Structure 1
């Protein structure tokens, strides 16, 4: 039951953070889905930091944090379904350049954020 509560709270906080990021970029949402892209990049960075941090700890010690941060918070914060919908909507509006930028930008920036986060987690978070 404790694990379910951790996921529930983390997911709720992640969803609220996602809403906040979306609101922060709502002015530009008709130009490009910056809110979705930013949320996904930040979620990848957080997940990467957690992964880097967890390499120095035992799997048993990491489980509680993993459920809260990775499954809960990052699961509620990142949004692949919205990324997919935004991309399809750009295509449907014949905005192919923006759709392609969204696809490749998301892929490259999110992978980069994950790698950067892993490095940061290993370098700057004490064991």
Structure 2
């Protein structure tokens, strides 16, 4: 939970989310220009790169925030972690959570979390597609 006033915390997340979403869109455009549309239609290279980069940046952020005071941590965590990286990719938060479990000596829980997250996310997506195809 944040120590920041709720409105201030929300504005940090909103601003960061807008920045992250635009960065994701622009990186996808850049990669399509770099690799070409045919390569992008065969494999989701942009998504893979965005998720990997977002996870790298989340790791850097977590390491930096660990050294800051709690009040300063909150603002940067909300703006950059939840906002920018959340808008850029939610995979970065997932990656951090998995690694925290591993570092806590819970590799079985980390593995379970990976399997459940991926399988449930894909299953939910398929279910959502089926619902829209059924009712749309």
Number of residue-to-residue matches in the alignment: 85
Correspondence for 2:84 among 73, 82, 87: 73
TM-score (structure 2 length as normaliser): 0.56
* Residue number in structure 2 paired with 1:4: 10
Verify: 1:17 aligned to 2:28, yes or no: no
Q: Report SS of the residue matched to 1:25.
A: helix
Verify: 1:32 aligned to 2:43, yes or no: yes
The verdict on how the C-alpha distance between 1:70 and 1:79 changes in structure 2, with shifts beyond 3 A counting, is: closer
Greater relative contact order, per chain length (Cα 8 Å cut-off, separation 6+): 1
Correspondence for 1:61 among 61, 72, 79: 72
The verdict on how the C-alpha distance between 1:66 and 1:79 changes in structure 2, with shifts beyond 3 A counting, is: closer
Q: Which has the larger radius of gyration?
A: 2
Structure 1 runs not aligned, ≥5 long:
89-127
Verify: 1:45 aligned to 2:53, yes or no: no
Runs of 4 or more off by more than 6 Å in structure 1?
A: none
Deviations along 1:21-71, one digit per CA (max 9) or x if unpaired, are 111222221121110011111111111111111121222220000000010
